[in-house]
Amino acid sequence: MAIQLSPLPYEYKDLEPHLSEETLLFHYGKHHAEYVDNLNSLIRNTFYDKLLLEEIIFESAQNPGDKKIFNNAAQAWNHTFYWNCLSAKANPEPSRDLLVLIEKHFGKFKSFQDQFTTACQDLFGSGWVWLVKDSDEKLSIMPLENAENPIVFGKTPLLVCDVWEHSYYLDHQNKRSEYLKCFTKIINWNFVEHNLQKSPSIFHISEPQNISNIYH
């Protein structure tokens, strides 16, 4: 059962002027697509072939010899999640309930934004910065290198920023800080709020796709 490239929940040009059509053509159409293609090549005729994408991530994370499979599976998952964290019609801030929760853990909303942006700026090399919910309902910012994914650590991902250079190089070259300013303006807070209801064990890749029609 081949893993499918999940559809982009909007058109390539819809995140302009914040993220260019060219960036999405490469980031989704080349990078994301290649992770899915690589994964399918790696798992063909192996026991991973029968598993859901989340199951492949959990299983391969336990087996150091399957690092290539983990990296491509996690990158496939992370990108789908990332696309759904963005919206062409984003609200500038979360709804009341989510705002209260963020303020409880991070102080003012601006303080959360600053902490999240700093974590994105400070992540050395390639990786992802996540806002996650712990099993005790505590929110925290979790920078992870390369393809790492919080569901492997028993956390529920709420929001992610891709800080691999391919996310911003076409638009901003080396200036990650300029990309982060743009990213902040197009966060899909409805998607973040939706993720609060989830737990890592019930995470399914189909969910972000299904709700994208509602919130974008």
Rule CB under 5 A: is residue 14 a binding residue for Mn ion?
no
Minimum CB–partner distance for residue 107 and Mn ion (Å): 30
Nearer to Mn ion among residue 106 and residue 164 (C-beta): 164
Rule CB under 5 A: is residue 54 a binding residue for Mn ion?
no
Minimum CB–partner distance for residue 165 and Mn ion (Å): 9
Minimum CB–partner distance for residue 115 and Mn ion (Å): 22
The neighbour count for residue 13, using CB atoms within 10 Å, is 13
Nearer to Mn ion among residue 32 and residue 106 (C-beta): 32
3-class SS at 185? Answer: helix
Nearer to Mn ion among residue 25 and residue 202 (C-beta): 25
CA distances from 50 to 31, 81, 162, 206 (A): 24, 22, 28, 16
CA distances from 29 to 12, 23, 43, 187 (A): 9, 9, 21, 21
Number of residues located near Mn ion, criterion CB under 5 A = 2
Nearer to Mn ion among residue 12 and residue 164 (C-beta): 164
String of contacts with Mn ion for each residue 72-111, x by CB under 5 A: ----------------------------------------
Nearer to Mn ion among residue 33 and residue 88 (C-beta): 33
CA distances from 96 to 30, 131, 132, 163, 190 (A): 38, 18, 19, 28, 11
The neighbour count for residue 7, using CB atoms within 10 Å, is 11
Minimum CB–partner distance for residue 126 and Mn ion (Å): 9
Alpha helices in the chain (DSSP H): 21-26, 33-43, 53-61, 67-85, 96-106, 109-122, 169-172, 176-185, 189-195, 206-215
Minimum CB–partner distance for residue 35 and Mn ion (Å): 9
String of contacts with Mn ion for each residue 144-163, x by CB under 5 A: ------------------x-
Rule CB under 5 A: is residue 164 a binding residue for Mn ion?
yes
Nearer to Mn ion among residue 54 and residue 162 (C-beta): 162
The neighbour count for residue 113, using CB atoms within 10 Å, is 16
Q: How far is it, in rounded angstroms, from Cα 9 to Cα 175?
A: 26
Minimum CB–partner distance for residue 8 and Mn ion (Å): 13
- Residues forming contacts to Mn ion in the complex (CB under 5 A) are 162, 164
